Amino acid sequence: MKRAFVAAAALSIGRTVYAATAKTCPESGICYELNIPDTTARSGSGDIYFQLSAPTSYQWVAVGQGSGMAGSNIFVMYTSADGTNVTVSPRLGTGFQQPLHDIAAQITLLEGSGVSDRVMTANVRCSNCESWSGGSMDLTGTRSNWIHAYKQGSALNSDDLAENIQQHDQSAPFNWDLSQARGGADVNPFVGSAGNTAGPTPSTVASTGPSSSPLRIRTALPFKSLVWIHVATQTLALLIFIVAVGLGLHMATTDHQLSQAHPIIGLVLFVSLLLQPVLGWMHHGLYKKYAGRTLWSDGHLSIGRIAIVFGMINGGLGLQLAYAGSGAKIAYGVVAGIVGVVYLAAIVYGEVRRNKHAIGNGQDEKGRDGLDREGSGSSGQQELLAWLNGLLQLNITKVEQCGTGAAYCQIYDSIFLDIPMSRVKFNANSEYQYLENFKILSNCFRKHHVDRPLTVEQLTKCKMQDNLEFLQWTKRYWDQYYPGGDYDALARRKGAGPGAGPGASAPAPTPTSARTSTSANTGARRPGPAGGMAATAPRTTSRQAGGGGPASTVLQQKNAELMETVQGLERERDFYFSKLRDIELLIQQAMEADAALEEDEGSLLKQIQTILYSTEEGFEIPAEAETEAVGEEETF
Ligand SMILES: *[C@@H]1O[C@H](CO)[C@@H](O)[C@H](O)[C@H]1NC(C)=O
Ligand SMILES: *[C@@H]1O[C@H](CO)[C@@H](O)[C@H](O)[C@H]1NC(C)=O
C-alpha cells in the first residue's frame, strides 16, 4: 500500500517540476519545440528555450519569431565545420535579401545539440527573444506568430555565423500557443528526454500545412529522471519493508506464529521483492536498448503487481493475527479496498492506452518521448512487423525471421528500386544463402552510401535483439527516404521490375490509371530529401513501367518532366512575386508617411506603383483575389 502511495506522489511531483514543451512538425522530419520557463512567462522577459531538429538532407533549417520575412528574428541551423555539431546563426529578416547575422541576439547552443543518426538537433537558449530590432513577442501572452523555412541540399559544414545561405525551398508561417509551452525551471528542457536521439518520424500533419497544423503538446517528464525517482522511492519502500520484516520475524518467533499465513506470505513477498532491483535494472536497461519490453520487463512488472495485491491482503491477515479490534479491521479494509481499486484501474488504463498506441499511429509518439516508448513498447515490435508485412506482402511473425536478409533487401528495394530481387532468396534455409542475401544488401548500402554498418554475423544468427535494432533503424531510414507511391512487392519479387516489360505477371494498370497515379504521386509528394524531384520522379515512373507498355512509359516520363518544370516555374513565380510585394509595401509605407507623394502623379514612386498595378488589357483583378493577395503572409 505504501508503495502505491509513494509512487503516486512521485508522479505528481514529476508533473510540476518538469518543463512543458510545445512541439510542432510542420514538415516531414523537421520539428520545432519550445519552452518558456515559469519565471520568463511571469515577467515577460528572460530565457526561452527552443529546439530545431531536421534530417541532414536539409542544408539549413530556420525558425523565426514574427509573421513575415521582414522584421523577424530568425535562427538558422546548419552543420558545423567538423560536421558533428550544428551552428545556429541568429539573423534579422529584412524582407529583401538574405537575412543578415544579428550580433545583438543572445543565444547559446546547449547540451544535446549535435548530429546523430543523420539528424541535426539544436537546443538553444535565447536570453533576449522578447524583443529584437524590428519586433517583439509577448512571452506572457498566448498567441504568437512564427515562420519557418528550409533548404535541401548538401551540408554547409560551417562555424561562420554569417555564412552565406541560399534561398529557401519552402517557407511558411505558423502559430504557437505560448501557454502550452509554459512551465518549469530556467534550465535546458531538452536533455534527458530520449526524443533527442531518436530518428526522424514523419509528421502526421505534414500534408495539412503548418498554419493549420495542430500543435502536438506534451508534458516532458524526462524518462531518465522518472526512472531515478522510481528507484529512489522503491528503495525507500524496500528498506521500510526490511525493517517491518525484521519486527515481524521477531514477533512471530516469540509468539510461535511462524507457520501462520501472514508471516509465510510476508516472507515469500520479501524474497521476491529482493529480486525487483535486479529485474528492474535489466528491464529498464534493455528497454532503452530494444525499445520494447523484454522477459525481464514481464518479470519486473508481474512481481511488482502481484506483490502489491498480496501485500494488501497480507496486511489484513496481520491485523487478524494481532487480534485487532473490528474498528481497525474495517478501517484497513476500506482504505485497502479503495487503494486496490484505484491501483487496478490505473493498471487497466495504462495497458489499454498502451494497446491503443500500438494500434493507432504510434509512429507519431513512439521513439520521440521516453515515456511513450516505455508505455507502448513491446507492441512496437508488432507495429514494425505489421508495417513490414504490409509493405512486402509477407507473413513474418517474428523479428528473428528477418535474419535471412531477404526482407531487408526488399525494404531497401522499395526505397531504391534497384536491388536485383530475382537473386534475393526468400526461401533461404541455410546460413550460406542468408549470407548471399546480405551480400546483395551490402552492395546496395555501398552504392547508395547508406551509412550503417551491417553486423551480418549477428543478424544471420537470427538474434532477436540485433534484428530488432536493425529493423527499427531501417524503418526510420525508410520513413525518411521512401519515395512515396505504391510499391508492388509481389511483382518485384517475381522479377517484374524495370526491364521486365509488358509480359510481366503483375496486373497491368490501364494507361490512364497509371498516369493519374503517377501524377498524384509526384504531385502530392514533397520533394524527397534524397535530392528532390529530379531524383525521384523517374523512379516512380520506372516502378509503373512493368505493366504499362512502352507508350505509357513515354507518357509517364513526359509527365514527370512536366511536373518538374511546373515546380521550378512555381518556385520562380513565388520568388518574383515576393520581390514585387516587397516593393509594393515599401511604396505604401512611404506614401503613408508622406501623403504628398500620393498626390504627385509624376513622382518616381507613383510611376512605379502604376507599373505594379497595371494589368493586361481586358484583365480585371477579381475582388477576392485582390484581398487574398494583400492578406498573404510575406515569407523569406
Ligand atoms: C555541440 O555543442 C554544444 C555547445 O558547445 C555542446 O553542448 C554539445 O555537447 C555539442 N555536441 C556534440 C555532439 O559535440
Ligand atoms: C500469407 O498468408 C495468407 C493467408 O494466411 C496467404 O494467403 C498468403 O499466401 C501468405 N503469403 C505468403 C507470402 O506466404
- In this prediction, residues 271-299 reach a mean pLDDT of 78
The CATH number of the domain holding residue 126 is 2.60.40.1210
**Lowest-confidence pick of 190-199, 258-267, 369-378, 394-403:** 369-378
**Lowest-confidence pick of 69-73, 549-553, 626-630:** 626-630
Highest mean pLDDT among 41-55, 357-371, 516-530: 41-55
Measure the CA–CA gap between 63 and 77, rounded to whole angstroms: 9
Q: Are 240 and 278 contacting, i.e. CB atoms less than 8 angstroms apart? A: no
Measure the CA–CA gap between 467 and 137, rounded to whole angstroms: 48
Q: Are 248 and 48 contacting, i.e. CB atoms less than 8 angstroms apart? A: no
Helix (H, G, I), strand (E, B) or coil at 75: strand
- In this prediction, residues 168-180 reach a mean pLDDT of 86
| Residue 379: per-residue pLDDT | 58
Atom of ligand 1 nearest to the CA of 109: 4
Buried b (16+ CB within 10 A) or exposed e, 305-329: eebbebbbebbebbbebeeeeeeee
- In this prediction, residues 561-567 reach a mean pLDDT of 84
Same domain, 618 and 584: yes
**124 occurs within a structural domain:** yes
Query: Concatenated DSSP letters for 267-292?
Result: HHHHHHHHHHHHHHHHHHHHHHHHTS
The letter for the amino acid at 307 is A
Probe ligand 2: pick from 392, 395, 410, 493, max atoms within 8 Å of CB? 395
Measure the CA–CA gap between 434 and 441, rounded to whole angstroms: 11
Confidence at 54, pLDDT banded by 50, 70, 90: very high
Same domain, 356 and 387: no
85 lines ligand 1 (CB under 6 A): yes
Residue 98 DSSP one-character state: S
| Residue 63 phi, psi dihedral angles, 5° rounding | -130, 145
Residue among 488, 394, 489, 407 nearest 440 (CA): 407
- In this prediction, residues 349-366 reach a mean pLDDT of 56
Neighbours of 484 (CB within 10 A): 15
Burial of 260 (0-12, 13-18, 19+ CB in 10 A): middle
Q: What sign for the dihedral angle of Cα 120, 125, 128, 131?
A: positive
- Ligand with the closest atom to the CA of 406: 2
Same domain, 419 and 327: no
403 lines ligand 1 (CB under 6 A): no
Higher per-residue pLDDT: 503 or 247: 247
394 lines ligand 2 (CB under 6 A): yes
Domain count along the chain = 4
What is the enclosing helix (H) or strand (E) of 597? helix 595-599
The CATH number of the domain holding residue 420 is 1.10.418.10
- Total H helices, total E strands in the chain: 18, 15
Higher per-residue pLDDT: 545 or 583: 583
Measure the CA–CA gap between 169 and 163, rounded to whole angstroms: 18
Measure the CA–CA gap between 244 and 254, rounded to whole angstroms: 15
Buried b (16+ CB within 10 A) or exposed e, 205-237: bbeeebeebebbebbbbbbebbbebbeebbeeb
**431 occurs within a structural domain:** yes
427 lines ligand 2 (CB under 6 A): no
Same domain, 226 and 327: yes
**12 occurs within a structural domain:** no
Same domain, 123 and 259: no
The CATH number of the domain holding residue 620 is 1.20.5.1430
| Residue 365: per-residue pLDDT | 35
Helix (H, G, I), strand (E, B) or coil at 222: coil
| Residue 207: per-residue pLDDT | 31
Measure the CA–CA gap between 43 and 140, rounded to whole angstroms: 7
Helix (H, G, I), strand (E, B) or coil at 197: coil
Atom of ligand 2 nearest to the CA of 395: 1
Q: Are 170 and 547 contacting, i.e. CB atoms less than 8 angstroms apart? A: no
**Lowest-confidence pick of 144-158, 414-428, 459-473, 548-562:** 548-562
Summarize pLDDT for 303-354 with one digit per residue, the tens: 888 888 888 888 888 888 888 888 888 899 899 889 888 988 888 888 877 6
- In sequence order, what are the residues at sequence separation of 6 or more whose Cβ sits closer than 8 angstroms to the Cβ of residue 301? 283, 293
- Ligand with the closest atom to the CA of 410: 2
Probe ligand 1: pick from 56, 111, 125, max atoms within 8 Å of CB? 111
Same domain, 157 and 29: yes
Atom of ligand 2 nearest to the CA of 394: 13
| pLDDT-above-70 percentage for the chain | 74
Q: How far is the CA of 561 from the centre of ligand 1 (A)?
A: 43
Same domain, 254 and 173: no
**263 occurs within a structural domain:** yes
Q: How far is the CA of 410 from the centre of ligand 2 (A)?
A: 17
pLDDT at 412 over 50: yes
pLDDT at 425 over 50: yes
Highest mean pLDDT among 6-20, 50-64, 174-188, 224-238: 50-64
**547 occurs within a structural domain:** no
| Residue 9: per-residue pLDDT | 36
84 lines ligand 1 (CB under 6 A): yes
Highest mean pLDDT among 62-71, 146-155, 572-581: 146-155
The number of C-alpha atoms within 13 Å of 136 and in the hemisphere containing its C-beta is: 8
pTM of the model: 0.35
- Ligand with the closest atom to the CA of 395: 2
pLDDT at 374 over 90: no
The letter for the amino acid at 150 is Y
The letter for the amino acid at 440 is I
pLDDT at 636 over 50: no
The last residue of one of the domains, among 526, 550, 576, is: 526
Cα distances (angstroms) measured from residue 423 to each of 139, 406, 426, 444, 494: 60, 10, 9, 13, 10
**534 occurs within a structural domain:** no
| Residue 621: per-residue pLDDT | 52
| Residue 301: per-residue pLDDT | 86
Confidence at 532, pLDDT banded by 50, 70, 90: very low
Same domain, 406 and 355: no
The number of C-alpha atoms within 13 Å of 574 and in the hemisphere containing its C-beta is: 16
The last residue of one of the domains, among 134, 149, 181, is: 181
**170 occurs within a structural domain:** yes
140 lines ligand 1 (CB under 6 A): no
Residue 85 DSSP one-character state: S
The residue count for the chain: 636
Residue among 343, 20, 55 nearest 202 (CA): 55
Q: Are 289 and 472 contacting, i.e. CB atoms less than 8 angstroms apart? A: no
The letter for the amino acid at 286 is L
* Domain extent at residue 599: 566-629
**123 occurs within a structural domain:** yes
**Lowest-confidence pick of 169-183, 478-492, 607-621, 622-636:** 622-636
What is the enclosing helix (H) or strand (E) of 58? strand 58-65
Measure the CA–CA gap between 144 and 597, rounded to whole angstroms: 35
The letter for the amino acid at 624 is E
| Residue 601: per-residue pLDDT | 79
| Residue 623: per-residue pLDDT | 52
| Residue 549: per-residue pLDDT | 65
- In this prediction, residues 374-399 reach a mean pLDDT of 79
Q: How far is the CA of 549 from the centre of ligand 2 (A)?
A: 29
Same domain, 435 and 343: no
- In this prediction, residues 267-288 reach a mean pLDDT of 84
- Ligand with the closest atom to the CA of 88: 1
Same domain, 450 and 511: yes
Measure the CA–CA gap between 333 and 338, rounded to whole angstroms: 8
Residue nearest atom 8 of ligand 1, based on CA coordinates: 111
Cα distances (angstroms) measured from residue 41 to each of 50, 110, 182, 189: 14, 21, 7, 15
Atom of ligand 2 nearest to the CA of 393: 13
pLDDT at 77 over 90: yes
The last residue of one of the domains, among 360, 393, 420, is: 360
Same domain, 319 and 420: no
Summarize pLDDT for 590-601 with one digit per residue, the tens: 888 887 877 777
What dihedral angle (degrees, nearest 10) is formed by the CA atoms of 214, 219, 225, 229?
Answer: -150
Measure the CA–CA gap between 610 and 616, rounded to whole angstroms: 13
Confidence at 581, pLDDT banded by 50, 70, 90: confident
pLDDT at 570 over 60: yes
Same domain, 395 and 344: no
Higher per-residue pLDDT: 588 or 442: 442
Residue 527 DSSP one-character state: P
Mean pLDDT, the chain, whole residue set? 76
